[in-house]
Amino acid sequence: MTHAADKPRAIGFDRQFSADVNGVPTEIVFHGFANKWFLVITQLGKIPGIYNVHFDVQRDERVVPYLHGPVDNPEFHVSVPITMNCCLGLDTDETRSAIQFLVNKTGLHKCPTDFVVGLGLKQIDGPNLRALAKVIEEAIF
Amino acid sequence: MESLIADVVPAKESGGFTSHCVHLEAGPSQFTVRALKMQGSTMLIINPKGTEVFEELAVSMPSRNSNSGESVSSTILGGHGQTDSSVLAGKLSKRYCRQFYVSLNLKLDRLVGPLFEKSLVTYMQDHLEHFA
């Protein structure tokens, strides 16, 4: 995992950087707006799909065991309940499961409001998503 | 340009994308523009200074036939049909022959609207490297 953010840079968002995810250069942008978090993750140089993600259970209303996020143990795994709306681009099971995975595995589930994600991944599979989740968790949350 | 506030920061190369943030003035009000320049497209998020939200989002594409000079735009989040965001996205797309994503979250009226547009396009023209 190498981040291209070695030198101090002037950027227009809370985070904007390029990272190596499983050998694929990935552009990541993050900004926390007052009513929404905004995230772009793309390996294609553009935003091919935009999804609006709404949490079914608001952060303050989750039952105590899940207050600190999803349960990560595979035996007792519980996903964070979310509703995704595809605003632009292909609405496939793959992208939906990728977003659900990232919500479960990163600090995205701490989002107090809805968030909008612009997603453009070359290949959606376990190793790539795990590597991506690790980069996001380290660099943003 | 006198309406420009000192907060201009140079965007530097980060892989393919660059981003930029600037505060501009339109008459009595100030607004913040955040720009993300991608390969072949640009995203602009425009808000009143201090209270930044992400409400509307529109996308527009230049016409495939470059001679016609038209663009098509659509609101994809937070609104229906023609919105301030989609109108601005359409204009920018037509002007720069480039795809634009625009999130315009200002309350514009007939007085401030033209001032805002002038301030924005003047700045974009002077700092084209951040936008197109």
What CATH number corresponds to the domain at position B37? 3.30.230.90
Cα–Cα distance between A93 and B24 in angstroms, integer? Answer: 42
B87 contact A CB<8A: no
Domain that holds residue B89: 18-130
ipTM: 0.86
* Closest-approach residue (CA) in chain A for B39: A45
Decide if B20 touches A, using CB distance below 8 A. yes
Crossing angle for the helix pair B84-96 and B112-126, to the nearest 10 degrees: 30
Q: Do A4 and B15 touch (CB under 8 A)?
A: yes
Q: Which residue in chain B has the smallest CA separation from A35?
A: B53
Please indicate whether, in this complex, the C-beta atoms of B59 and A88 are within 8 angstroms of each other: yes
Query: Of A55-64, A129-138, B32-41, B88-97, where does mean pLDDT reach its minimum?
Result: A55-64
pLDDT digits (tens, 9 = 90+) for A58-109: 777 665 556 656 666 777 777 888 999 999 999 999 999 999 999 989 999 8
Q: Is the pLDDT of residue B6 over 70?
A: no
Question: Closest partner residue to A12 among B34, B47, B54, by Cβ?
Answer: B34
Both structure tokens of A22: 């499983």
The two structure tokens encoding residue A19 = 């990272």
Beta carbons of A125 and A52 less than 8 angstroms apart: no
Domain-embedded: residue B11: no
Q: Is B31 on the interface with A (CB under 8 A)?
A: no
Structural domain boundaries of chain A?
Answer: 15-139
List all residues of chain B from 47 to 86 with a beta carbon under 8 Å from chain A: 47, 51-55, 57, 59, 76-77
Per-residue pLDDT reduced to its tens digit, B23-79: 999 988 999 999 999 999 999 999 999 999 999 999 999 988 767 778 999 999 998
Kindly give, in sequence order, each residue whose CB lies less than 8 Å from that of residue A105, ignoring residues fewer than 6 positions away: A72, A129, A130, A133, A137
Minimum Cα–Cα distance from B33: chain A residue: A12
Sign of the alpha-carbon dihedral angle for B3, B9, B12, B17: negative
C-alpha B32/C-alpha B23 separation (Å) is: 4
Q: What architecture is the A15-139 domain classified under in CATH?
A: 2-Layer Sandwich (3.30)
Q: What value does the mean pLDDT take over residues A14-26?
A: 95
Show the tokens assigned to A86.
């595809």
Q: Are B34 and B44 in contact (CB under 8 A)?
A: yes
pLDDT above 70 as % of chain B? 88
Distances (CA, A) of B26 to B5, B84, B109: 12, 16, 12
Smallest CA–CA distance from B35 into chain A, residue: A12
What is the Cα–Cα distance from A11 to A67, expressed in whole angstroms?
33
Domains of chain B: total: 1
What pLDDT, on the 0 to 100 scale, is given for residue B69? Answer: 76
Sheet (strand B71-77) strand order = B18-26, B29-37, B41-48, B99-104, B57-62, B71-77
